[in-house]
Amino acid sequence: MKALVYTAPRTLEYRDVPDPTSDTVIEVKAVGICGSDMHAWAGHDDRRPAPLILGHEAAGVTLDGRRVTVNPLVTCGTCDACKTGRDNLCTTRQIISMPPREGAFAQMLSMPEQNLVTVPDDVPLAKAALAEPIACGWHAVRLAKRALDRPLNQSHCLVMGGGAIGLGAALVLAAQGAKSITIAETNPARRAMIKGPFDVIDPRETALPTVDLVIDGVGFAATRASASAATRPGGVIMHIGLGDSDPGLDIRRLTLQEITFIGTYTYTAEDFRETAQAIFDGVLGPLDWFEERPLAEGAAAFSDIAGGRVAAPKIILRP
Amino acid sequence: MKALVYTAPRTLEYRDVPDPTSDTVIEVKAVGICGSDMHAWAGHDDRRPAPLILGHEAAGVTLDGRRVTVNPLVTCGTCDACKTGRDNLCTTRQIISMPPREGAFAQMLSMPEQNLVTVPDDVPLAKAALAEPIACGWHAVRLAKRALDRPLNQSHCLVMGGGAIGLGAALVLAAQGAKSITIAETNPARRAMIKGPFDVIDPRETALPTVDLVIDGVGFAATRASASAATRPGGVIMHIGLGDSDPGLDIRRLTLQEITFIGTYTYTAEDFRETAQAIFDGVLGPLDWFEERPLAEGAAAFSDIAGGRVAAPKIILRP
């Protein structure tokens, strides 16, 4: 099969690789480019050493003809975390695009059967591939509701970043009735693309509102600093982004104002299924904010994202 | 009256000041030295500018003869935080020892009546003065129980620091049935003084255990780094200490391992009353780990603490 192989920092080669054979084999029809793929491509993720097939936001068709979207997180089902409903923290978790599992920027992908969610015939597979990034926000909102001291419908919310993680989280907040939602996004072209019940602001030009909940879908020192300042006393910061590992949090304010900071990683299998169902049910809006390109032209897509030349919150590649 | 007045960095003068007249006046009989008093004395707390009477851990006798311990946090009772049970986050909160309120290193102190908790005759006032530091741990443990994904009796706990904040939190954890409790304390003399159902370790010599809950009663970059490493995936860090504002948290691990970091500030009025009652009921142990000195010799006590020459987790001054 053909695959887009990460061979060295900032280098992707579209080339022949062996077909996968284990588990259930899926012909990949749509696969999104994630910020973490960008980090790996830039050579900044030591969990993803070259040579490697990246990509973990996939939907496709199994060899026996089922249309599916793929939960890329493979968990054991038997450890303490798995048995207590926190399977995203499985002690032996694996995710495709990280050794020993190859990723989905390829014509085919192998996955355990239990990682597949069937997609209704009327839902395009490119839209179904958004289940993965949106599930991150679904999970974060679920944890946030538990941590907040008031219901979501009384909570003002701020989302840092209007990429797929941030926008996905904002759509989940909207679907679940948050009182208000502001998205802070610095890219003007992307700001113009974002539609929904949100205030969309440029955080360099407009003061951030004071809110009950911040969801940081970016995860840089600057966004953590902004989140620290914008969260009201007693409020909550959900931290999804893995932008950098620099400081940024205002530890003193978090302490004196009793702010909760919760790191969140992916989603549980149940979160993933619920997110996919919400997409199928249409409760997360039209989900038309992605751009599609051929997998063979993936290298240019990575360069365009890195160069700030992409307005869409998500590029989906078609093998 | 006589008071110990902070007049300049590292300088305390025992001198005459005007008697307090407002609210209820208490003759102070016992008042503890807190780490935050030490910071102010060192000139590191811009919330506490000289000249100022420090001290906020007080017990004494009202002019009409009632033995009381003092909740030093003055709240409005009408703001959103006060009305939702988070009065420690009152938007106009004041604490004695911070302008506009003078502190308790003095022969007399004025306080609103609702800040006083009556002390039974058989409880020494020095012990009753421990309600304030221990209430910080009481509050942190209450928030931690809400954040943890398993009951406290199934939770392994690590407390950073064996001062009154850390030891108090450890005693609360023990009283509430925590599965195991380790206290990390670098001062060997203090380690030798700590008695209770704890493992007491030197974190420079003994590897920290992996735990469900860390309570950081110190709040330095080094303790936050240790807390980041010792908390299991999905676990909780409660951050009480205000040691410094440097980084220390391992943001990447907190995110990838979904660790919750909660800043905590003081206690609610209900936490304070519950802590005082727990002391009166004897459920927090003998509470004999303080050393008493005359208020007139307070300057030497500050120097001794700063010089590492005090083993006791708490010095209580007697006006």
How far is the C-alpha of A64 from the C-alpha of A47, rounded, in Å?
Answer: 33
Q: Do B257 and A263 count as a contact with CB atoms less than 8 A apart?
A: yes
A161: region left, alpha or beta (phi > 0 left; psi from -120 to 50 alpha): left
How far is the C-alpha of A158 from the C-alpha of A214, rounded, in Å?
Answer: 5
Q: Within this chain, do residues B112 and B142 fall inside the same structural domain, yes or no?
A: no
Q: Which chain A residues have any C-beta within 8 angstroms of a chain B C-beta? A: 81, 84, 86, 88-89, 91, 147, 149-150, 219, 224, 233-234, 239-242, 245-265
**Packing angle between helix B131-147 and helix B269-280, nearest 10 degrees?**
110
Q: Within this chain, do residues B85 and B57 fall inside the same structural domain, yes or no?
A: yes
How far is the C-alpha of A189 from the C-alpha of B265, rounded, in Å?
Answer: 42
Q: Does residue A98 sit in helix, strand or coil? A: strand
Residue A271 lies in a domain: no
B219: region left, alpha or beta (phi > 0 left; psi from -120 to 50 alpha): left
How far is the C-alpha of B116 from the C-alpha of B103, rounded, in Å?
Answer: 15
Who among A86, A89, A260 is closest to B262 (CB)?
Answer: A260
Q: Within this chain, do residues B109 and B14 fall inside the same structural domain, yes or no?
A: yes
> Taking the CA atoms of chain B, what radius of gyration do you get in angstroms?
19
Q: Within this chain, do residues A33 and A95 fall inside the same structural domain, yes or no?
A: yes
Residue B274 lies in a domain: no
Q: Helices H, strands E: what count in chain B? A: 10, 18
pLDDT at position A64 is 96
Note the pLDDT tens digit of each residue in B126-185.
999 999 999 999 999 999 999 999 999 999 999 999 999 999 999 999 999 999 999 999
pLDDT at position A243 is 87
Residue B214 lies in a domain: yes
What are residue A94's DSSP bridge partners? A74
How far is the C-alpha of A179 from the C-alpha of A251, rounded, in Å?
Answer: 27
Q: Do B258 and A81 count as a contact with CB atoms less than 8 A apart?
A: no
Contact A244, A220 (CB under 8 A): yes
Chain A's closest residue to B251, CA to CA, is A245
Q: What is the arithmetic mean of pLDDT over B209-234? A: 97
**Which amino acid is present at B52?**
L
Residues 6+ apart with CB under 8 A from A75: A82, A87, A88, A90, A92, A93, A269
For chain A, the residue count is 319
DSSP string, B168-231: HHHHHHHHTT-SEEEEE---HHHHHH--SS-EEE-TTTSPPPPEEEEEESS--HHHHHHHHHHE
How far is the C-alpha of A141 from the C-alpha of A117, rounded, in Å?
Answer: 21
Work out how many CB contacts closer than 8 A connect A with B: 117
In this model, does residue B318 exceed pLDDT 90?
yes
> Taking the CA atoms of chain A, what radius of gyration do you get in angstroms?
19
Residues of A within 8 A of B224 (CB-CB) are 251
Q: Within this chain, do residues A181 and A235 fall inside the same structural domain, yes or no?
A: yes
Structural domain that includes position B138: 134-263
What the block records as the tokens of A213 is: 């909940």
In eight-state DSSP terms, residue A106 is: B
Residues of A within 8 A of B247 (CB-CB) are 247, 249, 251
ipTM of the complex: 0.95
CB-CB neighbours of A188 under 10 Å: 10
H or E element at residue A164: helix A164-175
What the block records as the tokens of B231 is: 């908390």
**Minimal Cα–Cα distance from B245 to chain A, Å?**
6
Q: Within this chain, do residues B22 and B104 fall inside the same structural domain, yes or no?
A: yes
pLDDT at position B243 is 87
| Best CA proximity match to B161, nearest among B48, B239, B79 | B239
Q: Within this chain, do residues B79 and B105 fall inside the same structural domain, yes or no?
A: yes
Who among B89, B150, B248 is closest to A233 (CB)?
Answer: B89
Q: Within this chain, do residues B124 and B223 fall inside the same structural domain, yes or no?
A: no
Which stretches of chain B are assigned E, i.e. beta strand? 2-8, 11-16, 24-32, 52-53, 57-62, 67-70, 73-74, 94-95, 108-111, 116-118, 156-160, 180-184, 199-201, 211-216, 231-239, 260-263, 290-294, 314-318
Phi, psi of A78 (to 5 degrees): -125, -15
Q: What is the arithmetic mean of pLDDT over B58-62? A: 98
Residue A34 lies in a domain: yes
pLDDT at position B183 is 98
Q: Within this chain, do residues A150 and A190 fall inside the same structural domain, yes or no?
A: yes
Chain A's closest residue to B218, CA to CA, is A255
pTM: 0.96
Q: Does residue A240 sit in helix, strand or coil? A: coil
Q: Within this chain, do residues A149 and A230 fall inside the same structural domain, yes or no?
A: yes
Q: Within this chain, do residues A173 and A204 fall inside the same structural domain, yes or no?
A: yes
Q: Encode chain A (319 residues) as per-residue pLDDT tens digits.
A: 999 999 999 999 999 999 998 899 999 999 999 999 999 999 999 999 999 999 999 999 999 999 999 999 999 999 999 999 999 999 999 999 999 999 999 999 999 999 999 999 999 999 999 999 999 999 999 999 999 999 999 999 999 999 999 999 999 999 999 999 999 999 999 999 999 999 999 999 999 999 999 999 999 999 999 999 999 999 999 999 988 889 999 999 999 999 999 999 999 999 999 999 999 999 999 999 999 999 999 999 999 999 999 999 999 999 9
Residue B119 lies in a domain: yes
Q: What is the arithmetic mean of pLDDT over B82-97? A: 96
Phi, psi of A39 (to 5 degrees): -65, -45
CB-CB neighbours of A107 under 10 Å: 18
Cis peptide bond upstream of A100, omega within 30 = yes
CATH number at residue A58: 3.90.180.10
Residue B237 lies in a domain: yes
H or E element at residue A281: helix A269-281
Residue B269 lies in a domain: no
Residue A87 lies in a domain: yes
Instruction: Give Cα B48 to chain centroid, integer Å.
Output: 17
Q: How many domains does chain A have?
A: 2
CB-CB neighbours of A196 under 10 Å: 16
CATH number at residue B255: 3.40.50.720
Q: Within this chain, do residues B41 and B161 fall inside the same structural domain, yes or no?
A: no
